[in-house]
Structure 1
Amino acid sequence: MAKLFIDCRFGLGGDMFLAALADMGLNLQPLVKALGQAGISIALDAPEVRVHGLAGRRLSIDAPGVQPLRHLPEIMSIVERLPLSEVVRGRVATAFVRLAEVEAKMHGIGVDEVHFHEVGAVDTLIDVAGAFYGLEALGVTRVLCSTLPWFGGKVECAHGTLPLPAPATLELMKGKPVSPTEFELEILTPTGALIIDQVVDEFVHGPEGVVRQVGRSFGTHDLGQGCGGLRLVLLDEH
């Protein structure tokens, strides 16, 4: 039995979570094949990068063509066609229902009216499906997490200029511990917050157990010297 500790003091995006799993040895190609069989043809890689002297990985997605706006029923249809385990498909479906409910609440519309744009493009499907595929492939049975970073600033989206954390992110942060930071940019994305919301069993100050593997990844923002990206620590129980 293994447990995973998410050290997200410098933020978390869905792409970062999958890249850090890849840094721990997760094979991404079965995920690429599964998505292709479900009608999402992509190329996916997590090449090694160096950021301020630290090595880690950054996710690279190549999804050719223009992706359509998708509503929840279209997303669910894709998820149902994924040749992954029933448990993984069920968790992915639950996550997208949760995301649709949050978006519907934020915009005062029905769940089936939500169209997935920024937070629901093909890369979010990859990030969410990849998160649950990865946890199962690595044998993770329990997920622990550090406190979430609080950050400020503004973000431009389809609904105009919004304060950070973005409304959907803040809704998904409800009931979870946060710690202040000086960052004035989006270091926790809606997809990252969704993954935290769906996978974390407990928030802790630090992990306990025998360290088996460590993965590190970086997002697109350069947070400066001393910011170590996202760290995932895979542990065996005592």
Structure 2
Amino acid sequence: MKSHDKTLFLDPRGGIAGDMLLAALAGLGADLARFQALLRAAGLDVALSLEQRSRAGIAGVGLRIDAPGAQPLRHLADLLALTDALSLPPRAAGRSRAAFRRLAEVEAAVHGVGIEEVHFHEVGAVDTLVDVAGAFWALDELRVGEVVCASLPWFSGTVACAHGLLPLPAPAVLRLLEGKPVYATGIEEEIVTPTGALLVDQVATRFAPGPDGIVLAQATAFGGRVIEAAPWGLRAVLLENYL
């Protein structure tokens, strides 16, 4: 069994989404081909690739997910069944299941329904399964034991979704931000997505301006949207703990 002796530091000043975190972890050395093989073995026709992207003169990477066909609306039981089918290592499997349960609880509270009634509209497609399960798989691959995250950027505006026009941060994101440090930015578009907020909620062991340790590698990840007011992407640093 691999020992989880590394620290991951996340700097989300340019935002965070599920695909950005997985892209950053791949940029740090997690082999997406190995995770894609797990998806294929589970019967999911998904192709993953890491793209070179740049914003404001900064080079980075982005995640491309190709899954043919329309994705159905899914309930918690569906996501858990897909997670089980992936044959993830035990730690990654347990953390993935806990994350989807947490998301279902948040969505149920936001919409005033039972957990079993929650339809995962925006977060029900296979790309979210890839983002969440892939992130936990990649953390294990990189032997990350602790995740330190800097304060999260606050943003405003509105977003159109299956439930109509919602204020930003979206209600589910706002609940997932409870207990976490934020700072005002004046940005009026979504830079912390529900999946991004969920992963921070589930993986961050503490919040601090920076980490302690020996820097091993760094990666910058960008999402598909260009955010002019926050072009820096998600910066991730992998560190080895001091002996």
TM-score normalised according to structure 2 size: 0.95
Query: Which of the residues 94, 115, 119 maps onto 1:115?
Result: 119
Q: In structure 2, what is the Cα distance between the partners aligned to 1:216 and 1:93?
A: 27
Match of residue 150 from structure 1: 154
Match of residue 132 from structure 1: 136
What's the CA shift string for 1:30-51, capped at 9, x where partnerless? 1111112223210111111122
1:237 deviates by: 1.0
Match of residue 235 from structure 2: 231
Q: In structure 1, what is the Cα distance between the partners aligned to 2:123 and 2:117?
A: 15
CA RMSD of the aligned region, Å? 1.1
Query: Which of the residues 65, 71, 76 maps onto 1:72?
Result: 76
What's the CA shift string for 1:70-89, capped at 9, x where partnerless? 11111111111112111111
C-alpha distance 226-69 of structure 1, shift in aligned 2 (>3 A): closer
Structure 2 residues without counterparts, runs of 5 or longer: none
1:20 deviates by: 0.8
TM-score normalised according to structure 1 size: 0.97
Match of residue 211 from structure 1: 215
C-alpha distance 81-204 of structure 1, shift in aligned 2 (>3 A): same
What's the CA shift string for 1:86-133, capped at 9, x where partnerless? 111111000000000000111111101111110221111000011100
* Residue 27 (str. 1) matches residue 31 (str. 2): yes
Query: Which of the residues 178, 189, 195 maps onto 2:193?
Result: 189
Q: In structure 2, what is the Cα distance between the partners aligned to 1:121 and 1:171?
A: 22
Deviates more, 1:193-202 or 1:215-224: 215-224
Structure 1 residues without counterparts, runs of 5 or longer: none
Q: In structure 2, what is the Cα distance between the partners aligned to 1:67 and 1:46?
A: 22
Q: In structure 2, what is the Cα distance between the partners aligned to 1:46 and 1:6?
A: 19
Question: Does the 8 Å contact 2:53/2:59 carry over to 1?
Answer: yes
Q: In structure 2, what is the Cα distance between the partners aligned to 1:222 and 1:233?
A: 22
Q: In structure 1, what is the Cα distance between the partners aligned to 2:169 and 2:14?
A: 14
Tell me which amino acid in the other structure corresponds to 1:52.
Answer: A
Question: Does the 8 Å contact 2:14/2:230 carry over to 1?
Answer: no
Tell me which amino acid in the other structure corresponds to 1:55.
Answer: A
Give the percent of matched residue pairs that are identical in Structure 1 and Structure 2: 52
* Residue 49 (str. 1) matches residue 59 (str. 2): no
What's the CA shift string for 1:168-219, capped at 9, x where partnerless? 0000000101011121000000000000000000000111211000011111
Q: In structure 1, what is the Cα distance between the partners aligned to 2:36 and 2:88?
A: 11
What's the CA shift string for 1:110-160, capped at 9, x where partnerless? 101111110221111000011100100000010000001100110000111
Question: Number of paired residues?
Answer: 238
Tell me which amino acid in the other structure corresponds to 1:230.
Answer: L
1:225 deviates by: 7.4
What's the CA shift string for 1:41-71, capped at 9, x where partnerless? 1011111112221110111010001111111
What's the CA shift string for 1:1-20, capped at 9, x where partnerless? 21000000111000000111
Deviates more, 1:181-190 or 1:212-221: 212-221
Tell me which amino acid in the other structure corresponds to 2:76.
Answer: L
Question: Does the 8 Å contact 1:39/1:78 carry over to 2?
Answer: no
1:11 is paired with a residue of what secondary structure? coil
